[in-house]
Amino acid sequence: MTVTVEDIAARAGVSLSTVSRVLNDRGVVAQATADRVRAAMRELGYTRSTLLERTVHPLVAVCAPARPEHWQLDVLNRVDVALQRSGVLTATPSIGADLSEVEAVVAAGASLVLTPTFTPVDLPVPVVRFAEAARDSTREPYPGETIAARIDLAGGLTLAFDHLLAIGHRRIGLICNDSGVLADQLRARFLADHPMARFHDGLEDWIAPVPKSFAGGIDAALRLKDRTCTAVIVQSGLQLYGVFHGIRQRGLVVPRDLSAVSLGDSLTLRYTQPPATVLGFDTNGMAESLTAAARTVLDLPGDRLPAVPPTFRPSLIARRSTTAVQR
């Protein structure tokens, strides 16, 4: 007669889930309960097939920032699907200045934290993340971190500057978040690479750090417009929507009165009025890099992270939110 897990649960007086945890050696089971389950297995003559290898399912925390951009969610969704297809269990806590959600998942048994952010994260388990392509000694990874890919922000800003310069813009501003590693790096690259850096001492006045919000975009757009900027590069999609609204509030028009380029693409940005010019990311390639790094750290089968992580440069997708400067 075939012995089932239902028979074992009935003999031991426990639930099916408890029997499963004992059989797979996963989760917390009181020692006395586990002994009772194993005794029931012996009494009933239950054995597992020796032809089957024991399957181990590691738990990975796949973390989005507290206020993620569309491109970050796109990357994470692809990573989540790829890891689950490889037999990895995933949890999706938010990650930010407060690490409590991530720490709770780590306490529950997560063996890896994976995030598409640039912010160094110090945790008692390995961390996989992105970094800016231009190395900054003040932002060196913690010992437990693996850099899955480097993002060429300087190259992306150069593309935006070249595009705007070609259509006559010189007074180009930056709208960025008021905190965060990515915002800090964008500001540094903006000041270093701006086409007017050698001719204008007041470039800081053309930077508007504001909250990552619709209202922040409105405030920044009007502030930079008053400082005579004719074009802006915008970090967040939420801020870009605010830019469009703020310019309309003043009775002006994008791009006639202010051209705008956004960092990161999404379906909604293709259908704004007018459609937004963007610096688009290779989200598929970035997701593959994060997944490969996870396989490397966890020693899973499949493609591994190369010795030198790949570098991704944003690509300029010109739409109608940029046009020649009005003289």
CB 109 within 8 A of CB 27: no
SS3 209: strand
- Going from N- to C-terminal start, the domains of the chain cover 5-44, 59-152+283-312, 154-280
Matching residue, tokens 């949890």:
91
Strand ranges (DSSP E) for the chain?
59-62, 64-65, 89-91, 94-95, 112-114, 127-132, 145-151, 172-177, 207-210, 231-234, 259-263, 277-280, 311-312, 315-317
pTM: predicted TM-score of the whole model, two decimal places: 0.79
Give the model confidence (pLDDT) of 170-205 as tens digits.
999 999 999 888 899 999 999 999 999 988 888 999
Sheet holding 112-114, edge to edge: 89-91, 59-62, 112-114, 127-132, 145-151, 311-312
Q: What is the pLDDT of residue 6?
A: 83
Residues 124-169: tens digit of each pLDDT? 899 999 999 875 545 678 889 999 999 999 899 999 999 999 999 9
What is the pLDDT tens value at each position of the chain, 327 positions in all?
A: 577 878 888 999 988 778 877 876 666 788 999 899 889 888 888 865 544 444 457 899 999 988 888 999 999 999 999 999 988 999 999 988 788 899 998 888 889 999 999 888 888 899 999 999 875 545 678 889 999 999 999 899 999 999 999 999 999 999 999 988 889 999 999 999 999 998 888 899 999 999 999 999 999 999 999 999 999 999 999 999 999 999 999 999 999 999 999 999 988 899 999 999 999 999 999 999 999 999 999 998 899 999 999 999 999 999 999 999 986
**In the CATH hierarchy, which fold is given to the domain comprising 59-152+283-312?**
Rossmann fold (3.40.50)
Q: Which amino acid is at 91?
A: A
Equal CATH topology for 59-152+283-312 and 154-280: yes
The pLDDT value recorded for residue 17 is 72
- 154-280 placed in CATH 3.30.420.10: no
Q: Which residues pair with 315 in a beta bridge?
A: 280
**DSSP 3-state assignment of 258?**
coil
